[in-house]
Chains A and B, each alone.
Chain A
Amino acid sequence: MPEPDDAPARARHHEPVLPEGPVRATANVCHAAGCLSLGSDLVFDRLCERVEASGTDDVGVRRVGCLGLCAQGPLVKVPEHDRLYAKVPAEPDELDQLVEQFRSGTGGLVVSEDPFFARQVKVVLRHCGSVDPEEVEDYVAKGGYAALRRAVTEMTPEEVVAEVTESGLRGRGGAGYPTGLKWATVAKSGEGGHKYVVCNADEGDPGAFMDRSVLESCPQQVLEGMAIAAYAVGANEGYVYVRAEYPLTVRRLNSAIRQAERAGLLGTAIADTSFSFHLEVRIGAGAFVCGEETALLASIEGRRGTPRPRPPYPAAAGLFGEPTLINNVETFASISAIIERGGRWYAAIGANKSRGTKVFALAGAVERTGLIEVPMGLSLRQIVFEIGGGVPGGHRCKAVQTGGPSGGCIPEELLDMPVDYESLVSAGSIMGSGGMIVMDETTCMVDVARYFMDFCREESCSRCVPCRAGTVQMHRLLDRICSGLATRADLERLERLAAMVQRASLCGLGQGAPSTVFSTLRYFKDEYLAHIDHRTCPAGVCEMAPFEMAGSGR
């Protein structure tokens, strides 16, 4: 009888083709969620069959994580020739031709010359698309776990914290709290007692898939970062809290933990020292609010994911009341590079008070959707037009949404703004976890505000009144505006309510819920007024309700 927590039975896939002699070309077949949904697993199997059938012994075929250009999957990269092949078919005949191209280094696009890749700087994603996400040996062979070894054998915990502090790394989950400071606080808390390290992989922002891609492409890198953190703050136990909506992520994480334990890189006596760190995966169950740290901890404790007032902060009293370090996936994934190359190296990347790189999930009305990593301080325009290839279909870029439901819409005229924590906040949005949705003129900004309010309304944990009841009433007001039934007084009421909900809600979900309303009112008030005064939706999205309904429901 299978154990209930075992992964469901999978179809057997072909073993990777790894020739023993010199190799002319290795086909790295993307096995991240985007390409898999386009059939890259079939491409992989067929490619293995074709290579074996052809009798060549100088072509390899491997599975790798996300190659970035998700819009054009299934993707195959041949690192020997620096080439990427997009929309790879699974037809045997076409694959035979492709194998010839792989060997000769023709066809496809040249990665280092392509604008999508040329602008990127890879720290978090440096192993993404080159290591096999299901083989710890592959990660180790590419230098993985060297940072952990170095930390536990050559550095004191204080030195690790100092290195992270010097890097200037700030929390990549959204708020941008200095990581080194957080680590130092946890390290000082609860002398000698029990502590925990928790990875927030509850990527709930709609339109964000960075954490998913990182965990599915190189889970070991995140585990290594967590282990280094545990060493630095003095913890021996940890949890990865991951969404149930990501079954592949859960499977790869569980497998990665087991493999790392077998390799002596997690568990007891790590790297033959006295340091031990035990990790478990906890699966969320579909509640956006669990991305809030106190709600996440409640959920790990098996309770309803309702946030609690802070202080006390988790650094002082977190999981099971013990000092707890919580960072998100990308933050932990940045750590090994910082330890390997030094905090100063990392701090040299970036701009202003935002150091290092940031991973974004580029989606929406943009030619090349996908996963990108850029140095902080690059402009939104460079991201959308140079990397993303602009807006398809001859449309005009209208706004870029960042930060998910707690973020905002930045209008086209501000796209030259650098992407850093402070600039985004001053423009009425936030960095957030890295979702970046491009909108063209077919998008109605009032409808977008209504969409996010609907999201917050349904995801409210119900604990505090402003969020639970305020989002419902704000949604009703936005719905009235979208239906052409609202008056200017409704708009004033919306603003008054939004101010209260933002200031009085208990947690970040409620405090952030009105932010899309504020940012769209700031830059697109004319669209609100067109709905109210002229009963028209400039983008042609909203359907106006018949007039006789006006006043009903009041």
Chain B
Amino acid sequence: MTSATADAVGARGTPGVPAGPAHPSEDRRWRQVDVRIRRLGARPDGLIEVLHTLQQLFGYLDDDALAYVSEALGVPPSQVMGVATFYSFFVLKPQGAHTCVVCTGTACYLNGAKAILRALREALGVEVGGTTADASLSLLGARCLGACSQAPAVVLDGEVHGKVLAEEITALVASHA
């Protein structure tokens, strides 16, 4: 971090904490966020990288996190929110313990992704982008996962399942939910 930026950030942060604003909570994960911010030079152009780090650590981006980044990088709050909501990868609400991503790329769409989504929506009782009431699983759609040769593809907790059938995947997902 350049000293000029450090001073500027520190001046707006808590007195006595020269490196950045006060952490929103005692959670030690904020220190990891600080490491990432410092490594990126605490500059506004690091915003998306820091949001990735936050989401990786906390699972989602809440107002406290966004306000913290805003202050630490010197980016206006409205701009931070503008960026966080522009990119579909960022989520502003807690996600389920498990995630099920249904690819809706062209090859998957033509090979039955629509039927898979319908079956999953019905079985889980949630819309795409939603999380089950017991917070056990989030159902997400993806533009294309690049697994077109295995279409239709579904990613369950990071594991790609190719050439899936609606009934098969519904049963598998239900066992996670």
Contact = CB atoms under 8 A, between A and B. Distances in A.
Interface in B41-98: 44-49, 51-53, 56-57, 73, 75, 79, 82-83, 86-90
Given A288-B143, A304-B82, A1 B87 contact: no
A213 B149 CA distance: 12
A208 B28 CA distance: 41
A33 interface: yes
B155 to A, nearest CB: 9
B121 interface: no
B36 A5 contact: yes
Contacts of B21: none
Contacts, number: 158
A459 B39 CA distance: 32
Interface in A52-77: 70-71, 73
B142 A245 contact: yes
B109 A451 contact: yes
B177 interface: no
Interface stretch (B4-12, B99-107, B130-138, B166-174): B99-107
Interface string A356-368: 0000011111000
B148 A209 contact: yes
A437 interface: yes
B38 to A, nearest CB: 11
Contacts of B82: 304
A283 B107 contact: no
Contact of A364 (B53, B107, B146, B147): B107
Interface string A198-226: 00000111111100110000000000000
Interface in A475-519: none
B162 interface: yes
A38 B147 CA distance: 11
A302 to B, nearest CB: 4
Contacts of A363: 106-107, 148-149, 151
Contact of A304 (B44, B83, B158): B83
B14 interface: no
Interface string A246-290: 110000000000000000000000000000000000111111100
Contact of B146 (A38, A208, A443): A208
Contacts of A288: 143
Contact of B110 (A203, A283, A364): A364
Contacts of B162: 34, 37-38
A5 B53 contact: yes
A37 B148 contact: no
Contacts of A437: 106-107, 110, 148
Interface in A157-207: 203-207
Contacts of B161: 37
Given A37-B150, A285-B51, A435-B106, A4 B89 contact: no
Interface residues of B, number: 51
A204 B145 CA distance: 9
A443 B110 contact: yes
Contacts of A34: 147, 149-150, 162
Nearest to B28: A1
A361 B144 CA distance: 13
A497 B46 CA distance: 39
B149 A212 contact: no
B105 A207 contact: yes
A212 B44 CA distance: 29
Contact of A208 (B33, B86, B144): B144
A261 to B, nearest CB: 16
B48 A302 contact: yes
A439 interface: yes
A407 B56 CA distance: 35
Given A206-B104, A285-B48, A437-B107, A361 B148 contact: yes
Given A4-B36, A203-B146, A36 B90 contact: no
A310 interface: no
A206 B106 contact: yes
Nearest to B105: A206
A33 B49 contact: no
Interface of B: 28, 31-33, 35-36, 39, 44-49, 51-53, 56-57, 73, 75, 79, 82-83, 86-90, 104-107, 109-111, 142-151, 153, 158-162
Given A38-B150, A208-B148, 4 more contacts: A282-B49, A284-B89, A369-B107, A435-B106
Shortest 9 CB-CB contacts between residues of A and residues of B: A285-B87, A70-B149, A37-B160, A206-B105, A302-B47, A286-B89, A207-B106, A209-B146, A363-B148
Interface of A: 1, 3-5, 33-34, 36-38, 70-71, 73, 203-209, 212-213, 244-247, 282-288, 299-306, 320, 361-365, 369-371, 401, 404, 435, 437, 439, 443, 448, 451-452, 455, 459, 461
